[in-house]
Amino acid sequence: MTRLSLTLLAILAGTTAIADTALTYGPRPAYLVSQMTDSPLKEQLLACADQIPARSDFSIGHRGAPLMFPEHTVESHVAAAQMGAGILECDVTFTADLELVCRHAQNDLHTTTNILVTPLADKCTTGFRPANGDSVASAECRTSDITLAEFQTLDPKMDAANTAATTPEEYLNGTANWRTDLYAANTTLMTHAESIALFRDLGAKFTPELKSPAVEMPFNGFSQQDYAQKLVDEYKAAGIPASDVWLQSFNLDDVLYWIENEPAFGAQAVYLMDEYETVDGYTPHDPATWPNTMEDLKAMGVNIIAPPTWMLVTLQDGKIVPSALARAAKAADLQIITWTLERSGPLANGGGWYFQGINDAITNDGAYFDLLDVLAQDVGVIGVFSDWPATTTYYANCMGL
């Protein structure tokens, strides 16, 4: 039995208490409320200080709880479940022997594991290159470079790299100062099938994302359609009802494949919108530039979209309000999930990428709740991914979501 399997069994042996009773907000939600500018929302959230934590499907663990735990590890997902996340995410990719594993990208092993300081470094697509003059340190290691058995020998770490590094050891030591390495030791990678077993026993539901391959498809005879089908087949093999699974992909063709070939799963498959990166001239606040209208997507059979938070809001007279995209999705009867809260670090100087378009209104960490309230009450999202699910759980419990 592998180290991973032994660790998973040991954790699962104690999950009954986690699933049923041992939920906690921890100190962060109260801290964020204390940082808010005085408002009726702040008063409402303060009044919920004594509420008892309850699991909520509105609260979605984004790769677990990676604000402080290495993403897509057993421990990260257990932490998210303890914070009341009702839905947990395994980003899915595949190994050289076509086994599905939980990784945010097929080519992120060099920043999320210790592979560069193991003998498996020789198998990486691109080995470590030290920083030199104007050239930053780099590497590229893919799950498809190694077998499942080899993947299971790796140690996970916080997703980060020191691009000024001159050695592999230095390269691995790049965690942002607002995250932490306190919980990085002795954490455990997972296969997709193991994530299903863990999430089920934690009392959570499932939202796997089919990640775009870094290799040319078909890969060793494994087509994109085979890949999309294998994802579904692992839920079927585990006896998980389709109603508990929200499949995700940035590739609209994947979503359409599920709608046509696995309609029970396809009915709540989630189209992750990233046209802001892939279509020249696309402006999320200008419907004339959209590659597909919301009505187009609905006619294709898509029922749920998932844009990033910033695409759903804009500023009007200094106030955060729903964007044209959000209004159009509502008019087309599309449900909305969004990502990712708590991924921006401290907000004293705005919130960076996830707050673009509203950065001028962001002055303190309490703005996480201000944005969340607009997303929930005005945009009408049905779920929010968070790097620290206690925040979304606290809000959902306070608002009865």
pLDDT tens column, 358-384: 999 999 999 999 999 999 999 999 999
* CA–CA distance, 285 with 290 (Å, rounded to integer): 9
Q: DSSP alpha helices (H): ranges in 36-184?
A: 40-46, 74-82, 109-112, 148-151, 168-171
Average pLDDT in the chain: 93
Q: For residue 185, tell me if it sits in a domain.
A: no
User: What's the CATH code of the domain at 41?
Assistant: 3.20.20.190
Please state, for a pLDDT cut of 70, what percent of the chain lies above it. Answer: 93
Q: For residue 360, tell me if it sits in a domain.
A: yes
* CA–CA distance, 180 with 238 (Å, rounded to integer): 34
Residue-wise pLDDT for 165-192, tens only, equals 999 999 999 999 999 999 999 999 999 9
Q: How many domains does the chain have?
A: 1
Q: For residue 284, tell me if it sits in a domain.
A: yes
Q: Which domain holds residue 86?
A: 3-90+190-399
Q: Are 381 and 337 in contact (CB under 8 A)?
A: yes
Q: Which amino acid is at 379?
A: V
Residue 17 is predicted with a pLDDT of 44
Q: For residue 225, tell me if it sits in a domain.
A: yes
Residue-wise pLDDT for 267-298, tens only, equals 999 999 877 665 566 677 677 778 889 999 99
- Would you give the DSSP letter of residue 377? I
Residue 1 has pLDDT above 50, yes or no: no
156 bridge partner residues: 113
Q: For residue 180, tell me if it sits in a domain.
A: no
* CA–CA distance, 87 with 334 (Å, rounded to integer): 20
- Pick 286 or 324 by higher pLDDT: 324
Considering only CA atoms, which of 185, 234, 175 is closest in space to residue 206? 234
Global pTM reads 0.95
Q: For residue 353, tell me if it sits in a domain.
A: yes
What confidence tier does 349 reach under pLDDT thresholds 50, 70, 90? confident
- Pick 132 or 275 by higher pLDDT: 132
Q: Are 369 and 32 in contact (CB under 8 A)?
A: yes
| Residue-wise burial string across 158-177, b where 16 or more C-beta atoms lie within 10 A, e elsewhere | bbbbbeebeebebbbebbee
Residue 73 is predicted with a pLDDT of 98
Q: For residue 96, tell me if it sits in a domain.
A: no
Residue 16 is predicted with a pLDDT of 47
Listed in sequence order, the residues at least 6 apart from 300 whose beta carbon sits closer than 8 Å to its beta carbon are: 252, 256, 259, 292
Q: For residue 117, tell me if it sits in a domain.
A: no
